[in-house]
Amino acid sequence: MLVSPAGYLRGGKAGLMAEIDFPPLLACQNISLDLGGREILRNIELEIRPGEVLGIIGPNGAGKTSLIEILSGRYSPKTGTVKYKGKDITGLQLYERSRIGIGRTYQTPVVPEDLTVGQTFKAARQAYKPYLTRFDAEYASNLVNFVTDESVPTSVLETFNRRKLLLATLLLRGPELLLMDEPAAGLINSEVEEIDEILRTLSKEMNIAVLIVEHRIELLDTIADSVIVMDAGEIIARGKLHDIIDSPAVRAAYFEVAH
Ligand SMILES: Nc1ncnc2c1ncn2[C@@H]1O[C@H](COP(=O)(O)OP(=O)(O)OP(=O)(O)O)[C@@H](O)[C@H]1O
Ligand SMILES: [Mg+2]
């Protein structure tokens, strides 16, 4: 089991973590975004530290995915900056951000339909120079509990195994930050518990920061160190989940939206 020094320090949250202020891994300021002539995001500011799990919740259309698109480099913001390890990366493309340690997952896990599991890993390993080994792929598979035989075509994998396969190939890059858009969407309860476990391993043992968008508040209860609540393109609350969940703004935006 890999336990980084920072991970060890975080283990003693109540004591050491409270005293040591780690610099942010990723920080964005004053982010706004227009799409199709509409303002989609307004004045978004957030920070995430190494190994931290930051949850983003909010009703449909709040702008959660759009924010991930900006942080991952698929969209350019109208205003604002994104910094990674203190450097301004606002102008970097998706592939450039992935090279410096920012990985992202999508709401729908799209796998290469005409490859087997083994061929998918091989293609992922050979995207590196020097090529990564089969052991690297095995290690990444173990981290996400992916135990499917290499000969299985990816097209027959269920949603959860697709997610695991994609996550394992992403982990081959050794990301320090994962931007995850609803990784529990479409999963049954036991799978949700397992993905919680996997994310805990990645954050607390591998020291990977995880920004996780999730609709269902209860799923973040156990895993997120803190949460941000978005509504209509803005951040309306942030903090520990249990501290903000009953605030009038969150109740109005989140719970009462379905009525
Ligand atoms: N390409 C686009 N052009 C115009 N408007 C868009 C575009 N993409 C998203 N939007 C709008 O931006 C708003 C935010 O969408 P976004 O997908 O970021 O929300 P979300 O919080 O991820 O929602 P969900 O919970 O349904 O996934 C929505 O009103 C959506 O209709
Ligand atoms: Mg979304």
pLDDT at 259 over 60: no
Average pLDDT over residues 36-56: 97
* 128 located within any domain: no
Burial tier of 247 (Cβ tally within 10 Å: 0-12, 13-18, 19+) = middle
pLDDT at 250 over 90: no
What is the helix (H) or strand (E) element at residue 43, kind and residue range? Answer: strand 38-48
Q: Which neighbouring-strand residues pair with 81? A: 29
3-state SS of the chain: helix, strand, coil percent to 5? 40, 25, 35
Burial tier of 113 (Cβ tally within 10 Å: 0-12, 13-18, 19+) = exposed
* Pairing verdict, β 226-231 and 234-239: antiparallel
pLDDT at 9 over 50: no
Question: What is each CA distance from 201 to 101, 157, 205, 209, in whole angstroms?
Answer: 18, 23, 5, 11
Residues with CB under 5 A from ligand 2 (ion): 64-65
* 56 located within any domain: yes
Q: Which residue CA neighbors atom 9 of ligand 1 most closely?
A: 66
pLDDT at 18 over 70: no
* 164 located within any domain: no
Q: Rounded distance, CA 177 to CA 99, Å?
A: 11
Q: What is the pLDDT of residue 256?
A: 64
Ligand at minimal distance from the CA of 66 is: 1
* 52 located within any domain: yes
Ligand at minimal distance from the CA of 63 is: 1
Q: What is the pLDDT of residue 218?
A: 74
Confidence label for 14 from pLDDT (cuts 50, 70 and 90): very low
CATH classification of the domain holding 249: 3.40.50.300
* 125 located within any domain: no
* 117 located within any domain: no
Q: What does the DSSP assignment read for 183-224?
A: TTTT--HHHHHHHHHHHHIIIIIT--EEEEE-S-HHHHHHH-
Q: What is the pLDDT of residue 27?
A: 98
* 1 located within any domain: no
Q: Whole-prediction pTM value?
A: 0.90
pLDDT at 45 over 70: yes
Which residues are near ligand 1 (CB < 6 Å)?
A: 35-36, 38, 40, 58, 60-66, 215
Q: What is the pLDDT of residue 255?
A: 64
Q: What residues make up the domain containing 89?
A: 22-107+175-258
Q: Rounded distance, CA 86 to CA 246, Å?
A: 34
Q: What is the pLDDT of residues 52-68, one digit of tens each?
A: 999 999 999 999 999 99
Q: What is the pLDDT of residues 177-224, one digit of tens each?
A: 999 999 999 999 999 999 999 999 999 999 999 999 987 777 788 899
Bigger pLDDT: 59 or 33?
33
Q: What is the pLDDT of residue 20?
A: 64
Average pLDDT over residues 108-125: 94
Q: What is the pLDDT of residue 101?
A: 96
Q: Rounded distance, CA 28 to CA 91, Å?
A: 13
Counting from 1 in the atom list of ligand 1, the atom nearest the Cα of 63 is 18
How far does residue 227's CA lie from ligand 1's centre (Å)?
Answer: 20
Q: What domain count does the chain have?
A: 1
How far does residue 251's CA lie from ligand 2's centre (Å)?
Answer: 20
46's CB contacts (< 8 A; 6+ apart) are 27, 28, 54, 228, 235, 238
205 sits in the region (left: phi over 0; alpha: psi -120 to 50; else beta) called alpha
Mean confidence (pLDDT) of the chain:
89
Q: Rounded distance, CA 212 to CA 215, Å?
A: 10
